[in-house]
Amino acid sequence: MRMSSMSSAHAQGGALLLRSISALRSMWCAGRRRCAAVVCVSAFLAVQLLQVAGAAPSETANAASAECVEALLRRLGWTIHRAAVSAPVLQRGEPCTRGTLAQAQAAGDLQLTLPADWNTDQRGAALTAVLDDAATHCAYAFELGAATRRAVTQLQNNSHYRFSAVQLGWIGFGWRGAAAQGWRGFRSFGRGYQPRSSNAQALDAFYRGQVRSECGVGRQVAQLATQRELFGDAGFNEAFTPGELSIGTFLTLHDTDSILLGAHAGEFFADGKAVQTSQLGRQAFVGAPGFIAHVFDKSYLDDIHNQAENFVVVDVSDAAAQALAQHGGFAYYDARNRQIWELAKQLRGPGKRRFERLLYERDAALRATLDPQQQTQLRQLQTLLDDPFYQGFSVYVHPKGTKPIGYHVARLLDRNPRTPYAIDLTLHNLRTTLYWRWIDWQLQRCGAATAAEQSIENSATPAYAGRGTLH
């Protein structure tokens, strides 16, 4: 994340943090011994003005032990020191601009120094606030990105997960049926399903079973599979209810407990043209859902099944991220898409995959059939599509797998040649509700493990130990 570019959200984030600190203070000041510690920490944080990226820390985070919060921050990549300083020192760096967490750490990002003489309460208040720092959200993005890549690899490697064809409903579970593959229908014509028992087992239908769906459901499944990879099977089964993992038409999800779009989705982040996301850096895109949609109305569509493509962002190269930041998001590329579409009119010809072969596969034999004027137009088109965004912004689209977005721009010239296409991110809660769900789960696991260890220690201590040794 380019922290220097976050000044526009700075004041808003600071106000949110101060409200969080105020809540902490009122809760902790019930015991006078803790009150002074919190006042000290809140004074520091108000001055430091942590860059907040989402909602305030959850109740679970506020209640967690300092040891558990510190362990989680270290797992996310923070290096935490104790030194003879009068107040904490944060060196965020620019983790969202790095390709990997190792690169971020090598660059000196994610460094936190706490006063050596602080007590547990003081450390706990400061560490909990850092959970909601923008740099921590970037560190989490490395985990999210890895989970996204694992999820889409599983989905695209299942040759039996196909696009909708002739089938009885919106989602088709083949001859075995939904129940045998872990799903229960709750809307007619296959418009809504939720897991029957094991959440992880239900997702296995898309990893290894025989299923058909269109790309909108494909995007939902990719988003849910990412959460499975993040939490692990046991966590995925425990942390989410079946209703939260509903799949179906987008309209159906709004009337469910869907963690993506329903009653449990919580706070959404809206950045359709990626104006804000582009300023944050490449890791801010990973896992985000979006779509490529026709610009002109439906009367200009020749292939209704390709009126739009739903995607999740899998990876963004450094060059693509810089291009997006320079141009301020997707609107610039919508204009480029229009320019590409206009130029492509002069190169139309026979073949269902003509532009896919010319522009993505760079088919030498097909290119050789073009006359000199068309060769010139082809070079102009290729120059536009060689922009780092088209080459380095990789998305997963069912059933095409993971490909650069330039591939989709090219193939849609074949599918619907009478309309250009535009690119948007959809509403999502990756760094609000879903972020805190994962943070809470990690802290709950740590707390349970600590309690279990303490219980073992207590049970292993003889009742007479406090009274001396028997001889």
The residue extents of the domains of the chain are 3-141, 158-252, 275-425
Which pLDDT score, from 0 to 100, does residue 459 have? 62
Six token digits for residue 431: 């760094």
Which pLDDT score, from 0 to 100, does residue 174 have? 84
Which amino acid, 387?
Answer: D
Which pLDDT score, from 0 to 100, does residue 441 have? 97
CB atoms within 10 A of CB 241: 14
Which pLDDT score, from 0 to 100, does residue 461 have? 52
Are the C-beta atoms of residues 278 and 291 closer than 8 Å to each other?
no
Are the C-beta atoms of residues 217 and 170 closer than 8 Å to each other?
yes
Q: Is 192 in a helix, a strand, or coil?
A: strand
Six token digits for residue 71: 């362990």
Residue where the block lists tokens 């520091």: 44
Nearest CA-CA partner of 72 in 24, 124, 28, 14: 124
Which pLDDT score, from 0 to 100, does residue 455 have? 62
Which pLDDT score, from 0 to 100, does residue 99 have? 98
Q: Collect contacts of 330-334 with beta carbons under 8 A, ≥24 apart.
A: 330/272, 330/273, 330/274, 330/422, 330/423, 330/424, 330/425, 331/273, 331/275, 333/387, 333/389, 333/390, 333/423, 334/273, 334/295, 334/420, 334/422, 334/423
CB atoms within 10 A of CB 398: 27
Are the C-beta atoms of residues 230 and 147 closer than 8 Å to each other?
yes
Per-residue tens of pLDDT for the chain, all 471 residues: 333 333 333 333 333 333 333 333 333 333 333 333 333 333 333 333 344 444 578 899 999 999 999 999 999 999 999 999 999 999 999 999 999 999 999 999 999 999 999 999 999 999 999 999 999 999 999 999 999 999 999 999 999 999 875 455 679 988 889 999 999 999 988 899 999 999 999 999 999 999 999 999 999 999 999 999 999 999 999 999 999 999 999 999 999 999 999 999 999 999 999 999 999 999 999 999 999 999 999 999 999 999 999 999 999 999 999 999 999 999 999 999 999 999 999 999 999 999 999 999 999 999 999 999 999 999 999 999 999 999 999 999 999 999 999 999 999 999 999 999 999 999 999 999 999 999 999 999 999 988 776 666 666 555 544 443 333
Are the C-beta atoms of residues 24 and 62 closer than 8 Å to each other?
yes
What contacts 182, CB < 8 A, 6 or more positions away?
Answer: 195, 196, 197, 198, 201, 202, 204, 205
Q: How far is CA 66 from CA 31, 93, 229, in A?
A: 17, 24, 27
Six token digits for residue 368: 């050789």
What contacts 120, CB < 8 A, 6 or more positions away?
Answer: 66
What contacts 195, CB < 8 A, 6 or more positions away?
Answer: 182, 183, 184, 201, 202, 242, 245
Which pLDDT score, from 0 to 100, does residue 457 have? 60
